Amino acid sequence: MVGAVSDQPLRARTTSVEQTRALACALADLAVAGDLILLVGEMGTGKTAFAQGFGAGLGVTEQITSPTFTIVHEYTGRLSLHHLDAYRLEHLQEVADLGVAEMLDEPAVMLVEWGDAILPALPADYLEVRLEFAPDEDERRLALTSVGSKWFARWRALAEIIEQYQPDASC
Ligand SMILES: Nc1ncnc2c1ncn2[C@@H]1O[C@H](COP(=O)(O)OP(=O)(O)OP(=O)(O)O)[C@@H](O)[C@H]1O
Ligand SMILES: [Mg+2]
């Protein structure tokens, strides 16, 4: 199953920042050491909000803030959480300099905002969470895709969580 990509993304819709956090918080229950999650989406779509909910789900009590200027933040929870913002990384070498490969070897979970920008420097086994704006100001569409086997193995459990955040049939 290595290299497998889920055929169809799991789709969800949230109508508030709290709901995006709640969805991410629920997903964190499924997290295991070594997990990588790429948060992909335009500025303001909710990547950091997702990270905040996910961190809460891991039991992080510290406030999770955007790591834009420091590039990477580390938090302690049930598992450690590395929160990376790749927006300002201009060269893949910077990923190596930050020690991303070493961080992935730790018993930790890594969330990468703008993860698609540094894809060649990351292992090809991750969950991609794509966030998009929707017509309503507080609405977001999320699409979850598993690349590789790690998240694919949890697909059913993931789908059960995502089921609660379905777009209206009329949309
Ligand atoms: N359904 C929603 N989900 C997430 N955020 C929402 C939602 N509705 C409104 N928002 C608002 O959108 C903003 C999302 O900001 P956030 O910092 O999480 O985005 P980001 O994708 O991390 O941006 P950046 O690329 O600048 O890091 C917040 O102000 C939040 O309150
Ligand atoms: Mg952000």
Domain range annotation of the chain = 14-165
Query: What pLDDT is recorded for position 171?
Result: 47
Question: Relative to the alpha carbon of 47, which ligand is closest?
Answer: 1
Q: Is 113 in the pocket of ligand 1 (CB under 6 A)?
A: yes
Q: Is 47 in the pocket of ligand 1 (CB under 6 A)?
A: yes
Query: What pLDDT is recorded for position 91?
Result: 87
Tokens coding 157 = 């459990």
CATH number among 3.40.50.300, 3.40.50.800, 3.40.50.720, 3.40.50.2300, domain 14-165:
3.40.50.300
Q: Is 45 in the pocket of ligand 1 (CB under 6 A)?
A: yes
Ligand 1 midpoint to CA 135 (Å): 15
Q: Ligand 1, atom 18: nearest CA belongs to which residue? A: 46
Ligand 1 midpoint to CA 133 (Å): 10
Distance of alpha carbon 6 from alpha carbon 55, whole angstroms: 25
Ligand 2 midpoint to CA 42 (Å): 9
Query: What pLDDT is recorded for position 4?
Result: 58
- 16-53: string of b/e by CB count within 10 Å (b at 16+)? ebebbbbbbbbbbeebeebbbbbbbbeeebbbbbbbbb
Q: Ligand 1, atom 1: nearest CA belongs to which residue? A: 16
In the chain (171 residues long), the average pLDDT of successive 10-residue segments reads 68 97 97 96 97 98 87 94 92 88 91 93 95 97 95 94 80 47
